[in-house]
Amino acid sequence: MKKLAVAVSLAASPAFAASGPFFSFYNTDFVVLVSFLAFVGVLVYLKVPGKLAGMLDKRAANIQNDLDEARALREEAQSVLASYERKQKEVQEQAERIIATARTEAEAAAAKAKDDLKATIERRLAAADEQIESAKAGAVREVRDRAIAVAVAAAREVVARQMTDATNDRLVDAAIGDVQAKLTLH
């Protein structure tokens, strides 16, 4: 069925529609040929091919200019990209140097703070030791003073029990004699 449709369409083509002698205006092939040649002649007379060629040349020149401009922009973009990559690398190196410096300074500050803390702790320990020694000396002094006071009180009580008026008079006379002897020596 398909082959029949193809055969019918080829049989009905315009080339087979022409009839009569070829160089007759009744022949459609001849009329088409003459019309085509007249059309081409009018195009040549109006210099359409030259204008078309000029337009195509102008279009080609514009395209070439666009390509050259695009190439120049691409090269400029590559140089800018390379510049930014260099700057990024420099900034990265500078950041690494800053980080290294900051790390070193932080370590030094930490070491100094550690040393300062040790010194502060040592000073506070020394001050605490001094306070302990002072409190200890104060406690010893207080105990000694208290012991002296208790001993004096006990001695006073013992002496008061054992002391008689005659012993008292004799001791007072001996003390006066000692004082007179010391005063005459000087």
For position 173, what pLDDT does the model report? Answer: 86
Question: Would 20 be classed as within a structural domain?
Answer: no
Classify residue 181: in a domain, yes or no. no
Q: Is residue 153 part of a domain?
A: yes
Q: Does 178 or 63 have the greater pLDDT score?
A: 63
CA atoms of 108 and 119, how far apart (whole Å):
16
- Domain-located, residue 13: no
pLDDT category of residue 164 using cuts at 50, 70 and 90: confident
Q: How confident is the model at residue 152 (pLDDT cuts 50, 70, 90)?
A: confident
Inside any domain, residue 140: yes
- Cα gap 177→182, rounded to integer Å: 9
Quick one: 81 and 133 in the same domain? no
Model confidence pLDDT, tens digit, residues 107-139: 999 999 999 999 999 999 999 999 999 988 888
User: Rounded CA gap, 22 and 29, in Å?
Assistant: 7
CA atoms of 153 and 160, how far apart (whole Å): 10
Q: How many CA atoms lie within 13 A of 108 on its CB side?
A: 6
Do both 66 and 143 map to the same domain? no
> Does residue 5 belong to any structural domain of this protein?
no
Question: How many folded domains does the chain comprise?
Answer: 2
Residue span of the structural domain in which 60 resides: 25-113
The pTM of the full predicted model, rounded to 2 decimals, is: 0.39
Helix (H, G, I), strand (E, B) or coil at 77: helix
Q: How confident is the model at residue 36 (pLDDT cuts 50, 70, 90)?
A: very high
Look at residue 18 and tell me if it is in a domain: no
pLDDT of residue 8: 43
**Which has the higher per-residue pLDDT, 56 or 182?**
56
With respect to residue 185, please indicate whether it lies within any of the assigned structural domains: no
Q: Let me know whether 95 and 157 are in one domain.
A: no
Same domain, 139 and 159: yes
